[in-house]
Amino acid sequence: MKKLKNEKELVKKAIAAGIEYGESRGVVKFEPTDSAAEKIEYIYRLLVHDKVIQPLPEDQVSQQTMRHRLAIWVSRLDQA
């Protein structure tokens, strides 16, 4: 897994975009007390369920790999 140049910033953008995506679909309402890790996991699983992103093999799913996959997703949104 190659680390992206500005992955930290992309993860923040991905969380914001994922929250907007989930709430616009009406499937989730995030609370201010939800941790970043919880948000990342929920957004990742929602995007996989909706077939927006390719799922990772279940034995490779970790907080780090989910962050990386979301960063890639949001970087591609910026390009579109």
Per-residue confidence (pLDDT) for residue 78, from 0 to 100? 74
Q: How far apart are CA 16 and CA 51, in angstroms?
A: 19
Per-residue confidence (pLDDT) for residue 77, from 0 to 100? 87
Per-residue confidence (pLDDT) for residue 23, from 0 to 100? 93
What are the average pLDDT values for consecutive 10-residue runs of the chain, which has 80 residues?
85 96 92 94 96 94 95 87
Name all contacts of 46-51 with Cβ < 8 Å and 24+ positions apart: 46/18, 46/21, 46/22, 47/18, 47/21, 47/73
The residue ranges of every structural domain in the chain are: 9-21+34-54
Per-residue confidence (pLDDT) for residue 36, from 0 to 100? 95
Q: Which amino acid is at 73?
A: W
Per-residue confidence (pLDDT) for residue 4, from 0 to 100? 80
**Contact between residue 18 and residue 46 where contact means Cβ atoms under 8 Å apart:** yes
Per-residue confidence (pLDDT) for residue 24, from 0 to 100? 94
Q: How far apart are CA 69 and CA 47, in angstroms?
A: 10
